[in-house]
Chains A and B, each alone.
Chain A
Amino acid sequence: DTAVSQTPKYLVTQMGNDKSIKCEQNLGHDTMYWYKQDSKKFLKIMFSYNNKELIINETVPNRFSPKSPDKAHLNLHINSLELGDSAVYFCASSLRGKDSPLHFGNGTRLTVT
């Protein structure tokens, strides 16, 4: 199936740990994103990559580091996890840039205890 897929679906971990979330899209899109959705369902962009190049880096703690090995993959590594990092993280992709609609994965529900 053509889709944006991210793993893992659920991630429960303790404060201070380091974890990674992986994302892959087989839609042939040029641009990939990470969004964070908090408990009030508000979606906020974190990062955007276009053809492996970082183009958006919103005000996000530098404990969060995205990595794009190729244009079909965008991973998110989080160091020294904090309670406030608990949220759902969505990967998305779009055909071109900012005027193209986004296609989302089903999210990774991160719980930090």
Chain B
Amino acid sequence: QKEVEQDPGPLSVPEGAIVSLNCTYSNSAFQYFMWYRQYSRKGPELLMYTYSSGNKEDGRFTAQVDKSSKYISLFIRDSQPSDSATYLCAMNSGNTPLVFGKGTRLSVIA
């Protein structure tokens, strides 16, 4: 089993929809969880950063971590065409390098 699994998509939704992106992981030592957004031909940019379990909200974005299920999610409310990008989850235990998922390609259609 890979350390971090993420469905590559592509995921296509209409503008205004709620988007749910997910990752599962196998290493129970992971404590730091991040979501990055990567536009075409650009570097990944940090969207959300959470420590341990729980929810974190920032504008239209909500990150959820369920450590008991080894499952993390990113929700995007009122999705916009400008949200079209690849979303990468990343995580580590704090003393190991970040491990990235393969990314989910999202298209929001106007």
Contact = CB atoms under 8 A, between A and B. Distances in A.
B97 A48 contact: yes
Interface in A55-113: 56, 58, 90, 92, 97-99, 101-107, 109
A90 B88 CA distance: 15
A45 interface: yes
A109 B90 CA distance: 22
A9 to B, nearest CB: 9
A41 B86 contact: yes
A107 B8 CA distance: 21
A41 B92 contact: no
Nearest to A90: B43
A101 B34 contact: yes
Contacts of B90: 102
B17 interface: no
A42 B102 contact: yes
B42 interface: yes
Nearest to B44: A104
B88 A104 contact: no
